[in-house]
């Protein structure tokens, strides 16, 4: 047994168990506390991040040139450069390194993955700074979602993959009764990887969305090329650096994991996708590019998280202020740049019933507006909730959407401590159910529609229909009638959407917890895979058999 | 719990356990014995088969017309007609029936599947006649491979799918510590099917190759359209008839399983593949049509078994006559029409070592020829081993291949008791390693090449290389040096081929046992799926979640 596997075996077993029970479980503490991560961890992480700015990133892999033009959404250039090599050279290095990796035992590979995760966890403050200043997430979210939560998702993938590989017996004796004698074969089953794996990251959650595919492909024996979004290279460069260090310590070629950085005006992703040796692709990004990947990856195993149009359906509530407060937070968190953030809020045009009496459609919309205003009234809290906007294109979408009945206008705001940060508050619009051209299109970013419908049945049909046609990852329902809840559960299950019901407290529809929530169902256009189910790992390896006629 | 599930639960649990241990296990007796199947079962099965000839097949499903032009390879027309309806009508009926099927519980669905298998097993003699007179298999093989072994493969798929679905907890409480209070969500996980499933059967193993996909899609909640090969409709029509009867008895719409028969000059398979509601496709057939299916099924889950070029590598043996006898049987069984049958026999041109001393290349080739002659010398035994040839095209391929150095000529033979049967003995040719244009192309049917190579290393490189490029399902090795065996194990594992070593007795490389042998690795062009691993079942369903904020 490898030392790394031995060191982390207890954690692995707990993770496998958690994946089976899918209640609450987490391996890596989400609290950015000095007591947990070390009293100087916060300052050390920030200092380590600042020391990287303006420098060549210390990643020891083949390079014919260097690339990188990241800017922080908080208003400054990172000016960090990364090694760059031709796609063919990267793939060739992956294949060469992959031969030794394929021969390694399951426990060796899993041990390496668990050690990488452990070291990434210790670096969570550094990673947090890296995620903050590429994605634009506020620090707390960058720490949690970019650090421990991403690590949990990586561990979850390792646990599922390990569990599947452990199910394959290494050797068995097959004894078939055949009259007077037995027919006997000694059989060995060997796990064989698929080939070079490509992980295509996104700019908003560079680690959280990449770790599952990265670690699932890695432990199943495939060498991995990590292709970060050109706007969010740094967190994955650090991830690759750590992975290569652990691989080398364990006696494997560092090129089992490589970074493939590029710049927006000289993209290399398509060349990587099209390379015949690339056999597995994990993609997070836009539906437009996702469609291209799916169309050009025939014969390759492709796992995507693209995007969709998430809905809230309001039928009634027994806590109006809890409801509007919860919705306000969901719309504001990371400025609506989460794939799980709601866009469409369906409300009967006749209004809803609440403990405070009947509320008209307008009153519901106004209630949400007031809650957003209240949440974001304090600049420090607004900065902590909203963070910055990753891309100029998102701001442009907000501007373009601001037409018709504006319930709440988006406002450019300053983020305390950062000059030139790109920050904005949510835009909330009123719409009629008939205005489908506006609201059934995904508008990535802080844009929400409060939509007047004929009835809750109409709301459900529209929300589920949009999910089936355009994709959706989450849905949220407010209702007090069990029959309405059951109808919504049926409608959203059929559309492959995860439904949250009556969230009025400190759990939000945006949140997806590793080891419990299946993130993306794979059953509508928002993505073809789920984090993490067995299907996410089981096709990353194959089994080759050797049968020997027994000497007996 | 459904009555069907309760009746078969013990068998299911044993099957799940067998799938985990993958030693020898079988649910359905392979011996066509009156003691097992009933003293009159053989006669009853034959009579029931004969009563169907020349009649409309009694399948109660929608029909706008009737189709069917099957002929027995044993020399007579079946003249059986089957209901036919437009593709759009079949798919619409599947979707309608699928709604109720999706709502059924896992145990209800699994119970139905197990009852279908139990009834098919009781009909094994009838199915044997149906398989014999469509595929051309000799009766014993038609009974075993078409009956109990196919049923075992179906049960194996049910066991894997059940095991995966059983892993999804139905309901959990998620309790996250959050300081003074806990955050609590009640979560329900619901299994949602993918959509309409299509099973495309082949003419040579209509049941064995179709049952895994049929039963895997069925128990995971998908309605199934069974599209038989136009030359082998009958065994699948009977399978569908039994399935519909069980579904109806269990209170489900019979259209959860439908037959989509056609004729060779008016094929409907492409229309079925292209229908947007078809979400899962199981295909068995030629690489040419398989490539079309894969290219036109974007966004659909496709599982294929296509074909490949299987090799035997001979380095040395400690039982020359056992080896040649085993090879002779593998070449002759069902006239080489098995996807697992060997085509290329690589022998060093300098010959091999045996207990009887050195054998030249020519002596090895001659030894195989003599063993084939001996095996097929008795007409009754020849008929039992060879069976008939399913398709005229196979005979044409044998004729076209008969050029160059013929070691053993193919001979048209009569099959006792059948006038006009299409039967032929194997063609064996000698080739040089340089003649790649001849032997690296799949020649489906009873054609084998004995190929002179520079060395066993050369043999392994060529055999594994052909497997990687053209696909291969099986490989066979004869060697006495453990280093050679290890090298072969590595080479064929890397090429995704199941290797058998030193078979000299009554186990043959052609044979693939349910619950133990992974049939097709999915790791080379011979197919993209394996019977049966977790990957074969895990993507046939998705999970939808409902989270409710706990009242507590």
Query: Rounded to an integer, what distance in angstroms lies between the CA atom of residue B320 and that of residue A352?
Result: 86
Interface of A with B in 125-184 (CB under 8 A): 164, 167, 169, 172-176, 178, 183
Q: Are A12 and B163 in contact (CB under 8 A)?
A: no
Residue at B516 is within a domain: no
Q: Which domain holds residue B327?
A: 311-501
- Interface contact flag, B549 A496, Cβ < 8 Å: no
Q: Which of B456, B485, B501 is the last residue of a domain?
A: B501
Kindly state the tokens that stand for A428.
Answer: 């909330």
Neighbour count for residue A53 (Cβ, 10 Å): 15
A136/A215 same-domain check: yes
Sheet with A278-284: strands ordered across: A257-259, A224-227, A196-200, A278-284, A301-305
Enumerate residue ranges in chain B where pLDDT < 50.
none
Query: Rounded to an integer, what distance in angstroms lies between the CA atom of residue A410 and that of residue A402?
Result: 8
Residue A138 sits at φ, ψ, to 5 deg, of -65, 160
B357/B317 same-domain check: yes
- Interface contact flag, B493 A185, Cβ < 8 Å: no
Nearest chain B CA: its distance from A151 CA (Å): 18
- Interface contact flag, A517 B298, Cβ < 8 Å: no
Selecting from A190, A507, A538 the residue whose C-beta is nearest the C-beta of B534 gives A538
Kindly state the tokens that stand for B213.
Answer: 């996909």
pLDDT of residue A332: 98
Pairing of β B344-348 and β B447-453 = parallel
User: What is the domain-level CATH number for residue A330?
Assistant: 3.40.309.10
List of chain B residues whose C-beta atoms are within 8 Å of the C-beta of residue A500: 185, 546-549
- Interface contact flag, B501 A22, Cβ < 8 Å: no
A328/A295 same-domain check: no
Nearest chain A CA: its distance from B291 CA (Å): 10
Kindly state the tokens that stand for B407.
Answer: 């070691």
- Interface contact flag, B506 A544, Cβ < 8 Å: no
Query: Rounded to an integer, what distance in angstroms lies between the CA atom of residue B306 and that of residue B528?
Result: 8
Angstrom CA distances, A393 to A219, A397, A399, B548, stand at: 37, 6, 10, 35
Selecting from B183, B494, B518 the residue whose C-beta is nearest the C-beta of A507 gives B183
pLDDT of residue B551: 65
Q: Is A362 exposed, middle or buried (0-12, 13-18, 19+ CB in 10 A)?
A: middle
Neighbour count for residue A403 (Cβ, 10 Å): 9
Residue at A188 is within a domain: yes
pLDDT of residue B155: 98
A267/A333 same-domain check: no
B304, B468, B486, B493: best mutation site toward chain A, by most A Cβ within 10 Å? B493
Residue at B520 is within a domain: no
Selecting from B173, B189, B523 the residue whose C-beta is nearest the C-beta of A192 gives B523
Residue at A530 is within a domain: no
- Interface contact flag, B545 A518, Cβ < 8 Å: yes
Q: Is it the case that residue A12 has pLDDT exceeding 90? A: yes
Give chain A's end-to-end CA distance (angstroms, integer). Answer: 31
Q: Which residue of B has its CA nearest to A17?
A: B167
Tokens 């529609």 -> residue: A449
One-letter-per-residue 3-state SS of A340-382: CCCCEEEEECCCEEECCEEECHHHHHHHHHHHHHHHCCCHHHH
Q: Which residue of A has its CA nearest to B297?
A: A298
B333/B476 same-domain check: yes
B340/B457 same-domain check: yes
A282/A374 same-domain check: no
What's the whole-number mean pLDDT along residues A388-397? 97
pLDDT of residue A277: 97
Total structural domains within chain B: 2
Provide the CB-side half-sphere exposure for B286 (13 A, CA): 12
pLDDT-derived band at A550 (thresholds 50, 70, 90) equals confident
A101/A127 same-domain check: yes
Rounded to 5 degrees, what angle do the CA atoms B527, A165, B528 make?
10
- Interface contact flag, A542 B522, Cβ < 8 Å: yes
Q: Are B81 and B68 in contact (CB under 8 A)?
A: yes
- Interface contact flag, A507 B185, Cβ < 8 Å: yes
A358/A276 same-domain check: no
The sign one gets for the Cα dihedral A526, A528, A533, A536 is: negative
Q: What ipTM was reported for this prediction? A: 0.95
Residue at B525 is within a domain: no
- Interface contact flag, B506 A546, Cβ < 8 Å: no
Q: Is it the case that residue A461 has pLDDT exceeding 60? A: yes
Q: Is it the case that residue A361 has pLDDT exceeding 70? A: yes
Query: Rounded to an integer, what distance in angstroms lies between the CA atom of residue A481 and that of residue A360?
Result: 19
The answer to whether A16 contacts chain B (CB < 8 Å) is no
User: pLDDT for A66-112, tens place per residue?
Assistant: 999 999 999 999 999 999 999 999 999 999 999 999 999 999 999 99
Residue at B18 is within a domain: no
User: pLDDT for A314-328, tens place per residue?
Assistant: 999 999 999 999 999
List of chain B residues whose C-beta atoms are within 8 Å of the C-beta of residue A297: none
Burial pattern A206-228, b for ≥16 Cβ within 10 A else e, equals bbbbbbbbbbbbbbbbbbbbbbb
Give chain B's end-to-end CA distance (angstroms, integer). Answer: 31
List of chain B residues whose C-beta atoms are within 8 Å of the C-beta of residue A174: 23-24, 513, 516
The answer to whether A412 contacts chain B (CB < 8 Å) is no
Query: Rounded to an integer, what distance in angstroms lies between the CA atom of residue A457 and that of residue A155?
Result: 40
B492/B408 same-domain check: yes
pLDDT of residue B250: 98
DSSP string spanning A209-258?
Answer: TTHHHHHHHHHTT--EEEE--TTS-HHHHHHHHHHHHHHHHTTS-GGGEE
B292/B326 same-domain check: no
B385/B286 same-domain check: no
DSSP A334: G
pLDDT of residue A179: 86
The answer to whether B510 contacts chain A (CB < 8 Å) is no
Residue at A87 is within a domain: yes
Query: Rounded to an integer, what distance in angstroms lies between the CA atom of residue B10 and that of residue B2?
Result: 14
The sign one gets for the Cα dihedral B259, B260, B261, B264 is: negative
> What is the average pLDDT score of chain A?
97
Interface of B with A in 180-219 (CB under 8 A): 183, 185, 187-190, 192, 194
The packing angle between helices A106-122 and A3-21, to 10°, is: 80
User: What is the domain-level CATH number for residue A114?
Assistant: 3.40.605.10
Residue at A4 is within a domain: no
């Amino acid at each position: 047994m490898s030392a790394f596997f031995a060191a982390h075996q207890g954690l692995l077993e707990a993770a496998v168990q958690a994946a089976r029970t899918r209640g609450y479980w987490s391996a890596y503490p989400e609290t950015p506390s000095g007591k947990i991560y070390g009293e100087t961890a916060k300052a050390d992480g920030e200092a380590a991040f600042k020391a990287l700015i303006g420098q060549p990133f210390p990643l020891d892999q083949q390079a014919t040139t260097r690339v990188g033009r990241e800017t922080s959404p908080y208003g400054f250039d990172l000016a960090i450069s990364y090694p760059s090599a031709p796609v063919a050279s990267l793939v060739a290095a992956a294949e060469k390194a992959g031969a030794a990796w394929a021969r390694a035992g399951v426990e060796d590979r899993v041990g390496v993955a668990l050690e990488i995760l452990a070291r990434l966890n210790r670096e969570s403050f550094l990673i947090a700074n890296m995620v903050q200043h590429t994605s634009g997430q506020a620090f707390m979210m960058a720490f949690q979602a970019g650090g421990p939560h991403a690590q949990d998702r990586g561990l979850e993938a390792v646990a599922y993959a390990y569990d599947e590989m452990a199910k394959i017996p290494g050797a068995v004796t097959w004894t078939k009764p055949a009259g007077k004698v037995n027919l006997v074969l000694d059989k060995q089953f060997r796990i064989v990887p698929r080939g070079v794996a490509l992980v295509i990251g996104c700019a908003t959650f560079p680690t959280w969305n990449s770790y599952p595919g990265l670690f699932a492909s890695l432990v199943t024996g495939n060498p991995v090329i990590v292709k970060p979004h050109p706007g969010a290279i740094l967190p994955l460069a650090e991830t690759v650096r750590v992975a290569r260090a652990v691989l080398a310590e364990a006696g494997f070629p560092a090129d089992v994991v490589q970074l493939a950085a590029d710049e927006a005006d000289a993209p290399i992703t398509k060349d990587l996708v099209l390379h015949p040796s690339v056999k597995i692709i994990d993609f997070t990004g836009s539906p437009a590019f996702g469609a291209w990947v799916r169309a050009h990856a025939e014969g390759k195993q492709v796992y995507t998280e693209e995007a969709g149009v998430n809905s809230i359906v309001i039928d009634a509530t027994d806590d109006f202020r809890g409801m509007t407060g919860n919705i306000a937070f969901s719309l504001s968190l990371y400025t609506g740049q989460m794939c799980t953030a709601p866009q469409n809020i369906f409300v009967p045009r006749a209004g809803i019933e609440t403990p405070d009496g009947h509320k008209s459609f307008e009153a519901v919309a106004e209630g949400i507006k007031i809650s957003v205003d209240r949440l974001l009234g304090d600049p420090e809290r607004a900065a902590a909730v909203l963070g910055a906007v990753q891309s100029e294109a998102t701001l442009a979408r907000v501007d373009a959407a601001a037409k018709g009945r504006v319930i709440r206008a988006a406002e450019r705001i300053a983020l305390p401590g950062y000059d030139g940060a790109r920050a904005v508050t949510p835009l909330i619009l009123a719409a009629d159910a008939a205005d489908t051209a506006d609201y059934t299109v995904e508008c990535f970013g802080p844009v929400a529609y409060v939509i007047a419908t004929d009835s809750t049945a109409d709301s459900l049909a529209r929300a589920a229909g949009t999910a089936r046609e355009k994709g959706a990852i989450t849905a949220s329902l407010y209702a007090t009638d069990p029959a309405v809840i059951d109808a919504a559960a049926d409608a959203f299950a059929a559309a492959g959407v995860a439904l949250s019901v009556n969230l009025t407290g400190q759990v939000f529809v945006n949140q997806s917890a590793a080891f419990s929530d299946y993130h993306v169902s794979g059953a509508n256009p928002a993505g073809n895979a789920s984090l993490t189910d067995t299907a996410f790992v089981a096709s990353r390896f194959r089994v080759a058999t050797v049968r020997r006629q027994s000497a007996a």
